[in-house]
A and B are shown apart, each in its own frame.
Chain A
Amino acid sequence: SQKIEQNSEALNIQEGKTATLTCNYTNYSPAYLQWYRQDPGRGPVFLLLIRENEKEKRKERLKVTFDTTLKQSLFHITASQPADSATYLCALDGSSNTGKLIFGQGTTLQVKP
């Protein structure tokens, strides 16, 4: 069956450290993968998109990798800050070129000062 898996356990790290979140998928062949941030009581906010032919993408303190062989994406936040505390969702295109995204359940990140 098709699955997208993110660690359901919250990730707790100290301010200034690098946070690494994992997204694994099964039985999909996505052309791209996206990452979103969601704060409590708010809608998700788009952060980054990475295509299947891209190994790595960066935006300020954010870095995303995409390994289509391992069927995995890693999301890194360097020099993390308490303001980075939120739930992070990965999403991929479930069927080619329809624009429909399939979302993982999200991982909650807590950055402690």
Chain B
Amino acid sequence: NAGVTQTPKFQVLKTGQSMTLQCAQDMNHNSMYWYRQDPGMGLRLIYYSASEGTTDKGEVPNGYNVSRLNKREFSLRLESAAPSQTSVYFCASSEVVSSGGYTFGSGTRLTVV
């Protein structure tokens, strides 16, 4: 019953450092997504993967890269962190979205100092 698991839950980075946020789902969903959530901005799509082997940019992809490692795992990498990337990051997965919703992870709270 794990659903979508994100690691780590909290992270503090210095400007210029790199890190990878991990996401795994155990529901056999084809599609996976990375969103960031900022106060007053709502959830904004960074990258998504419609199926294993494919990735595409969302609304705010600059400064990020993704890897769909296999059907279960979708990672988000910050190559050179900036204070503007301080945010809460959510991973989500879905099957056919027109019949059901996303399943979200519990989020990673990232602070870049």
Contacts and interface: CB of A to CB of B under 8 A. Distances in A.
B97 A105 contact: no
* Most B C-beta atoms less than 10 A away, residue of A44, A93, A97, A106: A44
Query: Range of interface residues on chain B?
Result: 20 to 34
B98 interface: yes
Contacts of A46: 100-103
B33 interface: yes
30 contacts: A32-B97, A32-B98, A36-B102, A41-B107, A42-B106, A43-B92, A43-B104, A43-B107, A44-B90, A44-B102, A46-B100, A46-B101, A46-B103, A49-B98, A89-B42, A89-B43, A93-B97, A98-B50, A99-B48, A99-B50, A100-B33, A100-B48, A101-B33, A101-B97, A101-B102, A103-B42, A104-B42, A105-B40, A105-B41, A106-B42
Interface of A: 8, 31-32, 34, 36, 41-47, 49, 51, 89, 91, 93, 97-106
